[in-house]
Amino acid sequence: MKEALSEYPLRDSASASLLTHSGRSLSDITAESIAAGALTGDDLRTHADTLRRQAKIARAGGYPQLAANLLRAAELTDVPNEELLKIYELLRPERASYDELARLADYLEETYGARENAAFIRDAATIYRERSLLRR
Amino acid sequence: MERSKRFDLLAKRDINKETYVEPWSEAGLIVADSPYDPQPSIKIAAGCVLEMDGRSRADFDALDIFIASQALDLEIAQEAMALPSKEYARMLADINVPRADIARLIAGCTPAKLTEIVRHMNVLEMMMGLAKMRIRRTPANQAHVTNWREHPALLAADAAEAALRGFAEVETTVRVARFAPFNALAILVGTQTGRGGVLTQCSVEEALGLRLAMKGLTSYAETLSVYGTEKTFVDGDDTPWSKAFLASAYASRGVKIRFTSGTGSEALMGRAEQKSMLYLEARCLLVVKGAGSQGVQNGSISCIALPEALPGGVRAVLAENLLASMLGLEVAAGNDALASHSSIRKTAKLMLQFIPGADFIFSGYSAIPKRDNLFGGGNFDAEDFDDYNVLQRDMQIDGGLRPITEAEALSIRRKGARAIQAVYRELGLPAISDEEIDAATVAHGSDDMPARDIVPDLEAADAFMAGGDDFVAVIRALQKTGFANVADNILEMGRQRIAADYLQPSAIFDADFKVQSAINDGNDYLGPGSGYRPEGRRWREMQAIPQAKSPEGFVDPHIGQPLSRLVEVGPAAVGTTREVVLALGPAFGCALATTIGGFDHEDVLEAILGGVAAEGMIARIVRVYHSSDCAAIGYVGARLSGSGIGIGLQSRGTAVIHQKDLAPLNNLELFPQSPSLTLQTYQAIGRNAARYAMGVPTVPVAVEIDNGARLRLIVKTALLHRRETDEVCPERPPQELRFDWEPES
């Protein structure tokens, strides 16, 4: 597991293999391609695989909770901005019913393969019910 | 009642503008040890926590559940909880115990256990603990850059200067929330003008903050606030789960996050549940860790005045910094909001984080005037930059800043302001005029800026937020307008966002735009000879404050032409008449030509001789070669004098009236504060020496007492004395001098 640490920082060790969220190679992200108008914001976003590699590094470095967060984040890279904001809003206190949260978890799992997030939201739903944090 | 003049004065001191209150546990007004704080305990079965800190699972609130399921390492918890708290405290203060050994066990400690551990420690031990447990080896600093006008050119100029001064992160915020995208944009462009790799954020409501990050206008967010009781958490309109999700959402966009907690918030919100601030903070920190945040901003933050109103408050704030670092969290250690009216108190408090070092010593050093600070006033402001740089230089402690010259500041401010002007022009935003650039370049704050028409600015901000332009458009605008290196820096921030290295704990970018985090710059402090200490290039940079002068610069102004009117005629003999002998130091009127007070040596001679003559007495002048010491020079004068009265005079102007029967180090009158001596004083010295020689009653010369003189002039004093000592010839006897001068009749 410790060998993950020797990869760090990926910017130096793995530049050639890193992809952007849009699937370009990091080496395509140049001043010239920006100037030519060939790139958009999506080309300057991180790829899920990169976050998974960072999760491995965090775990090897002794930061398991951060690693878990980065794995959840990896699953969210494909979730559109507006959806992310909506999910966050639903998770705030007294915004959603138990069923709404359960459906949200299913949706994330089915649509984006977001198993970690789905499990996390299902946990939340159970505890929100226990602690009266669901919509009244 | 009688009024003491001293108490009257004390009452007006800054320290007495503060509020002090006696502890009241029931209201949560207790920093570290409420009688209602629980005792540490844990019971685990089948991988589930059945009891934590005296509370059984059925009574857990949402925070307990989150901590038990997300934060605690249950594999280590039994062992960790069994080790006595005092033992942890001793390990934390012990330089021989590595941080990893402690961190492994701390992962299994409950909130009450964590609180109990730090209760055993005094501030010195906590500082030792923080020096070791801080996760990044190299300390750093964060700046706050705001202004009440929310002027984009001023924001960019101040951000550029902050970046040049060495801040690793710059945070802004808004007075009017709709300005958020423009303020974020201005500090992005400004910082990347000053130094590539400075992380930036705009503190706004959570969802808006995420939108700014999605546009690439910010690279980190730290206002994910957490609280130590369930009710406060819900009052803050979040749960640990919503906050954790937000953290993942940010990370999914390659944005660094840091949560915010800090003592006092629960009491301030009226929901402390009778618990101590520190116990509630321990709960916060475990929520932060459980949510997968790489770090926390704590140190009471905006509530700082509340713990400071209570006994032990400043100690508790250090304790919470330490707790966070023990848990492996990056710590932005507070020192941000205005904590005290008293310079003594605020500086003393700062030392608790400054000396051990923190990932960020300030979670917002106000790099602007207090009046422009939209975070509630800075505890240290732009006005304190020089003080801060001197503190670093005094203690050889890296506080994350570097001294810069005025010319460097003006140049980078102009460039930052021009860069944002160019971006506004290219993106079709309301124009920034050249007059605004000129003003922002030299400005100290908003008061120095022309007003902008806010209505079109706000409309443009709304449209920008809603539109498709993001930081790619900003890079392109900078490329088109000749700001290639600023564009390159923002582009590299984009590449770093793709690589995501700076999502690891305590990540910053160093001066070479290389990521530096707990992964590749882990703290290895184990006492003397280990850990981070500023050395080499960095220490030289810290020393080089523009105010520091070369030693030669102190002496050069005092070198002049040797006095042609002062001629040596041969060995001095003991006099036989009633006279005053004026004995000069070996450099007087030759190697040196003026006193420390700036008087020409010949004017000083004329003044003294004039004073002697005014009393109808004659004087002889001799030069002493064997010593540069004032008492020794004066004593020689006295012994050569026919009356037994001599005046000793050093080149820097220090004088003594001596009498031959006194012990060498005794005297009749001593004038040690040469900078305060005027030509009138020298004349009075001559007069008094003459009166002593005549044996008539004499009132000592009154000299103005200036206790600051030594402070201002001690370096010059030392170097002038050294120059005089260079002229000492130990074997050469005193020489008689002739001074071509006649008293005015």
The residue type at B702 = A
**Residues of chain A neighbouring B211 (CB-CB closer than 8 A):** 81, 85
Flag whether pLDDT at A2 surpasses 80: no
Q: Establish if A59 touches chain B: CB-CB under 8 angstroms.
A: no
CB contact under 8 A, B498 and A121: no
User: What integer pLDDT is reported at residue B745 of this predicted model?
Assistant: 60
Measured in whole angstroms, the distance separating CA A5 from the mean position of its chain's CA atoms is: 21
Contacts of A28 in chain B (CB under 8 A): none
For B164, the enclosing helix (H) or strand (E) is helix B152-164
The residues, ordered by sequence, that sit 6+ positions from B16 with a Cβ below 8 Å of its Cβ are B10
Given CB atoms, is B487 within the 8 Å cutoff of chain A? yes
Whether B363 is catalytic is: yes
Task: List the catalytic residue out of B142, B294, B366, B392.
Answer: B142
Q: Which residues of B are less than 8 Å from A14 in CB distance?
A: 499
ipTM: 0.98
Q: Which of B73, B249, B471 sits opposite A84 (nearest CB)?
A: B249
Residue B152 contacts A where some CB pair is shorter than 8 Å: no
- Is B626 a known active-site residue? no
Interface contact A73-B252, CB threshold 8 A: yes
Decide if B504 is catalytic.
no
- Put simply, whether B55 touches A (Cβ < 8 Å) is no
d(CA B559, CA B652): 11
pLDDT, tens digit (0-9, with 9 covering 90-100), for B249-304: 999 999 999 999 988 888 888 899 999 999 999 999 999 999 999 999 998 888 89
Chain B: give the shortest CA distance to residue A73, in Å: 4
Compare all CA atoms of chain A with the CA of B212 and give the residue at the minimum distance. A81
Q: Hey, which residues does B619 pair with through a beta bridge?
A: B580
Is B246 in contact with A11 (Cβ distance < 8 A)?
Answer: no
Say which of B211, B237, B518 has its CB closest to residue A93: B237
Residues 6+ apart with CB under 8 A from B667: B631, B634, B656, B657, B658, B659
Which one, of B516, B420, B411, B458, lies nearest residue B199 by Cα?
B516
How many angstroms away from the CA of B218 is the closest CA of chain A? 13
**Helix, strand or coil, per DSSP, at residue B581:** strand
Q: Give me the catalytic one of B171, B266, B359, B724.
A: B171
- Interchain contact A58–B (C-beta under 8 A): yes
Instruction: Please list, in sequence order, all residues whose beta carbon lies within 8 angstroms of the beta carbon of residue B695, skipping any fewer than 6 positions away.
Output: none
Residue with tokens 């001793």: B90
The answer to whether residue A128 scores a pLDDT higher than 80 is yes
Would you say B618 and B627 are in contact if contact means Cβ atoms under 8 Å apart?
A: no
* A15 contacts B515? CB cut-off 8 A: no
B336 is an active site residue: yes
Residue whose C-alpha is closest to residue B26's, from B262, B234, B228, B267? B267
A70 interface with B at CB cutoff 8 Å: yes
- The reply to whether B235 belongs to the active site is no
Owner of token pair 């002794």: A62
Residues of A in contact with B70 (CB under 8 A): 65
Ordered DSSP codes for B315-327: HHHHHHHHHHHHT
Query: At A110, is the pLDDT very low, low, confident or very high (cuts 50, 70, 90)?
Result: very high
Instruction: Work out the minimum CA distance from B239 to partner chain A, whole angstroms.
Output: 6
Q: Is B297 a catalytic residue?
A: yes
- Determine the Cα–Cα distance for residues B485 and B650; give it in Å rounded to an integer: 58
Tokens of B659: 């009498």
Nearest to A51 among B251, B496, B515 (CB): B251
Whether chain B has a CB inside 8 Å of the CB on A66: the answer is yes
Per the prediction, chain A carries an average pLDDT of 95
Helix residue spans in chain A (DSSP H): 3-6, 10-13, 31-35, 48-60, 64-76, 81-91, 98-112, 115-130
Smallest CA–CA separation between A56 and chain B, in Å? 11
Pairs across A and B, CB distance < 8 A: 205
State yes or no: cis peptide before A9, omega within 30 of 0: yes
Q: Which sign does the torsion angle of CA B590, B595, B596, B599 carry?
A: negative
Query: Does the beta-carbon distance from B206 to A77 stay under 8 Å?
Result: no
Q: Catalytic one among B201, B293, B294, B297?
A: B297
Give the mutation candidate from A13, A44, A83 for the B interface (greatest B CB count, under 10 A).
Answer: A44
Q: Which amino acid, B175?
A: R
| Distance in Å, alpha carbon of A110 to nearest chain B alpha carbon | 18
Tell if the CB–CB gap between B65 and A9 is shorter than 8 Å: no
How far is the C-alpha of B307 from the C-alpha of B320, rounded, in Å?
12
Q: Output the DSSP codes for A80-118.
A: -HHHHHHHHHHHSTTSS-HHHHHHHHHHHHHHH--HHHH
Mean pLDDT, 10 residues at a time, over chain B (745 residues)?
Answer: 95 96 95 96 96 97 97 97 98 97 98 98 98 98 97 98 98 96 98 98 91 94 92 94 96 96 88 94 98 95 90 97 98 93 95 97 96 90 97 98 98 98 98 98 98 96 94 96 97 96 98 96 96 96 95 90 93 95 97 95 96 96 97 97 97 96 94 91 97 96 85 92 96 95 76
Q: What residues are paired with B566 via a beta bridge? A: B739
Q: Who among A8, A65, A128 is closest to B292 (CB)? A: A65
Q: Classify residue B363 by burial, with Cβ atoms within 10 Å: 0-12, 13-18, 19+.
A: buried
Which residues of chain A lie closer than 8 angstroms to B69, CB-CB?
A: 123
- From chain B residues 506-565, the ones with a CB under 8 A of any chain A CB are 514-515, 518-520, 522
pLDDT at B293: 98
pLDDT bucket at A1, cuts 50 / 70 / 90 = low
- Which residue is catalytic, options B37, B308, B336, B457? B336
B222 is catalytic: yes
Q: Which residues contact B144 (CB under 8 A, 6 or more apart)?
A: B170, B171, B172, B173, B336, B364, B365, B366, B367, B368, B373, B375, B378
Instruction: Work out the minimum CA distance from A136 to partner chain B, whole angstroms.
Output: 14
Search chain B and give the residue with CA nearest A41: B472
End-to-end CA distance of chain A: 46
Cross-chain residue pair B498–A124, CB shorter than 8 Å: no
